[in-house]
Structure 1
């Protein structure tokens, strides 16, 4: 039986790890998690913050996930939204999920990412 989600895997273009690090580590605050040597040869980069894990795998040809996406619970959405806007990432607020405040953005590769918190 499933007990929890271990990680989310997203695709990224080959050789673009620096852009993944800028977004997921520098802007979102996730730590880089070392990949096992056998997997590191494939490219990509892994991130972790507590129990939240995001793996970016290099894929060729690359196609971004426009609909499927991870959704991250956050403490201060307004600060995060401003951080992303300042870094030139588009922020799209959405009020369609009752009981939550949320927005969407796209990572540097066009993968859809959702951020939300319970409404007060």
Structure 2
């Protein structure tokens, strides 16, 4: 009996914000949307493919996402290029505490969710 890995992660955005969410996650970050099962489509939100894992973007009201340290960390290439792209789209970059062997930064998505981009040092 073992835990074999992470299947998916869920984040939330406000109800009715799917169009803005797709713009940020699919257009700005370039993550492909994948089909949700028919039984879950009525709940709102959308799903994304990230490498061999999934990120489920659900909808939820009455929650201040800016008050939590909870986050998702995406391992990326060209961290400097990502910083430029995000800043060009009006995203404020937040410095992170150093982790040996990695370069990284954080930001909040348009809904307040904390996001980290991390790249191993060569």
TM normalised by structure 1 equals: 0.92
| In 1: Cα distance, 2:37 partner to 2:64 partner | 25
1:85-107 CA distances to partner (integer Å, 9 max, x unpaired)? Answer: 00000112325211110000111
1:54-102 CA distances to partner (integer Å, 9 max, x unpaired)? Answer: 1111112233163011111101111111111000001123252111100
Matched, 1:3 2:4: yes
Displacement of 1:3 in angstroms is 1.2
CA RMSD of aligned residues (A): 1.3
| In 2: Cα distance, 1:42 partner to 1:85 partner | 32
Aligned pair in 2 of structure 1 residues 52, 81: CA closer, same or farther (>3 Å)? farther
| In 2: Cα distance, 1:22 partner to 1:72 partner | 18
What are the equivalent positions in structure 2 for 1:65-104 lying under 5 Å apart? 66-104=68-106
What are the equivalent positions in structure 2 for 1:4-83 lying under 5 Å apart? 4-64=5-65, 66-83=68-85
Q: Secondary structure at the match of 1:24?
A: helix
Q: Secondary structure at the match of 2:43?
A: coil
Q: Secondary structure at the match of 2:71?
A: coil
Moved over 3 A (4+): none
| In 1: Cα distance, 2:15 partner to 2:73 partner | 24
Q: Secondary structure at the match of 2:39?
A: helix
TM normalised by structure 2 equals: 0.91
Segments of 5+ residues of structure 2 without an aligned counterpart are: none
Deviates more, 1:81-90 or 1:41-50: 41-50
